[in-house]
Structure 1
Amino acid sequence: MCGRYTLLADELEIIKEFDLQQHIDSYQTSYNIAPGQNVLAVIHDGKQKRAGYLRWGLVPSWAKDEKIGYKMINARSETAHEKPSFKKLMARKRCLIIADSFYEWKKTEQGKQPKRIQLSNRKLFAFAGLWDKWEQQEHELFTCTVLTKDANEFMRDIHHRMPIILPKDKEDEWIKPQNQQPIEAHQFLQSLTDEKFNAYNVPIYVNSAKNNDATCIEPIAST
């Protein structure tokens, strides 16, 4: 799964890396992005790529209660093209969720050890995501979920699931504005190759989403 991550790059780095044509309104860095918070995402509106904030935790357009979002921070890529909550979104509401590392907790004899995981060959990257708009009376929400898959060889030692990180040359293809059949989006995700990762232990301080400073990413010795 993917339940916490970081975004520490400055705005100009992001604009350059993702070839954006506009500034990012209200951009903020974060050492500890958690479900329920607003997260930076990129979509294609049919004319250009646009960056903005979506709330993390998908609330499908047909949902009766927005609280469902807390149960839908992740979507399994293996079945998303079949599930009612995600099927239509796989066809037409795909997004990039911008990050520069993510956290995962490894089970040890001493308890769960948080680790910070980064790509070895580049700083910024994008999770494959889905988004939707929910409206009820005059209240509207734009929300998203991170697509996940079985862990690769590197991640398997830490956790059995992992977020899908798009190769750089596949990011624009994922959010291209043309509608697709859900199975086509599924096949696209299945065809992706993994990049190399590195990971290190960080303090249990990161366990609380209230903590959001450089202490979250300080390396600590392995136990």
Structure 2
Amino acid sequence: MCNLYSNTMPPAAMRQLFAVDAQRDQLGNAEPLPGIFPKGTAPIVALNDNGERALWNTHWGFVLPQVSKKTGQPIQSKAVNNARDDKLRTSPFWKKSFIQRRCLIPATSFCEAKGRNPATYFWFGVRGEGNRPPFAFAGVWRAFSGNYGGEQREMVTSSMVTTTPNELVRDTHPDRMPVILHPEAYEEWLTGRPESAFALLRPFPAEQMVIHQSGEGLKSDKGGL
């Protein structure tokens, strides 16, 4: 499970990498994001109503309404930011988004914590040119309209897809890791049939990844700035 990642790419770099026209970039003058947490701002690449690639800011986590077990009254909604690959095609919470609303989540690294009091934070990335080579997670999105945090909100929410970990990540998180897509798979994930899109959900090769940094208290990847 990933509850923290970074995206320090400027919007112009995202437009170039993901082939998004400037007119469909809604990020504005987005600042680098060295630490993106659940309920935070998460840029995505999605298809608009015309089937064109667009850059949107989203709320990281699908909104899951909750009620108190004691009173039965509504309480603070939960933001579900990881979608398990083994639930995408069966869970009503994810299924429609997987079939109709897949997206790319731009990133420069992601974090997994190991241990407690204190935890050691490991920041993973992909091998390539530059300090933090960019990449994209497989994601899904959906619109939300309703009460959230005590106020009426309308927003786009997103969640990344997770799968079983590779050898590099397994030592830190033995159960899950986010799905990193190869660039040649971007179009298939966005536009392909559900069956072919699902076939892309597998662990990224460990030999093509690297640990950028690790240590206590590293709750943001400022090494990528």
TM range (shorter): 0.7 to 0.9
**Distance verdict in 2 for CA 1:14–1:158, change over 3 Å:** same
Is the contact between residue 181 and residue 200 of structure 2 (CA under 8 Å) also seen in structure 1?
no
Distance across 1 between alignment mates of 2:215 and 2:115? 14
**How far is 1:111 from its partner?**
4.5
Q: Which amino acid aligns with 2:8?
A: L
Residues 1:16 and 2:16 aligned together: yes
Of residues 26, 41, 46, the one that matches 1:43 is: 46
Q: Would the aligned equivalents of 2:163 and 2:201 in 1 still touch at CA under 8 Å?
A: no
The letter for the 2-side match of 1:48 is E
How far apart, CA to CA, are the structure 1 residues paired with 2:3 and 2:198? 22
Name which of 176, 185, 188 aligns with 1:170. Answer: 185
Counterpart in the other structure of 1:86: 94
Could you list the per-position Cα deviations for residues 113-158 of structure 1 after superposition, in whole angstroms to 9, with x for gaps in the alignment?
A: 1011110125111111111112238632210111101111121112
Q: Secondary structure at the match of 1:174?
A: helix
Task: Read off the aligned partner of 1:27 and give its amino acid letter.
Answer: A
Could you tell me which residue of structure 2 aligns to residue 117 of structure 1? 124
Pairwise CA RMSD: 2.7
Q: Answer with 20-29 or 198-207: which moved more.
A: 198-207
* Aligned-partner Cα distance in 1 for 2:75–2:100: 21
When residues 206 and 111 of structure 1 are mapped into structure 2, their CA distance, relative to the original with a 3 A threshold, is closer
Give me the whole-angstrom Cα distance separating, in 2, the residues matched to 1:51 and 1:200.
27
Q: Distance in 2 between matches of 1:187 and 1:118?
A: 22
TM superposition shift of 1:103: 1.0
Residue number in structure 1 paired with 2:142: 132
Would the alpha carbon gap of residues 11 and 166 (structure 1) be closer, same or farther in structure 2, given more than 3 Å must change? same
* Aligned residue in 2 for 1:194: 205
Which letter does structure 2 place at the counterpart of 1:81?
R
Is the contact made by 1:81 and 1:185 (CA closer than 8 Å) also made in structure 2?
A: no
Matched, 1:155 2:162: no
Aligned residue for 1:134, secondary structure, equals strand
Distance 1:187 1:78 in 2: 12
Number of aligned positions between the proteins:
204
Query: In the alignment, is the contact (CA less than 8 A) between 2:188 and 2:196 conserved in 1?
Result: no
Q: Where does the alignment leave 5 or more consecutive residues of structure 2 unmatched?
A: 67-73
Question: Given the two structures, how large is their TM-score scaled by the length of structure 2?
Answer: 0.79
What CA distance in whole angstroms lies between the structure 1 residues aligned with 2:172 and 2:40? 25
The residue type equivalent to 2:154 in the other structure is: E
Question: Which secondary structure state, in structure 2, belongs to the residue aligned with residue 59 of structure 1?
Answer: strand
Q: Which structure has the highest strand share of the two?
A: 2
Counterpart in 2 of 1:53?
57
Gaps of 5+ in 1: 219-223
Deviation of 1:31 (Å): 1.2
Residue 34 to residue 119, structure 1, CA distance change in 2 (3 Å):
same
Q: Is the CA contact (8 Å cut-off) linking 2:125 and 2:212 kept in structure 1?
A: no
Residue 134 of structure 1 contacts residue 141 of structure 1 at CA under 8 Å; is this kept in 2? yes
Secondary structure of the residue that 2:120 maps to in structure 1?
A: strand
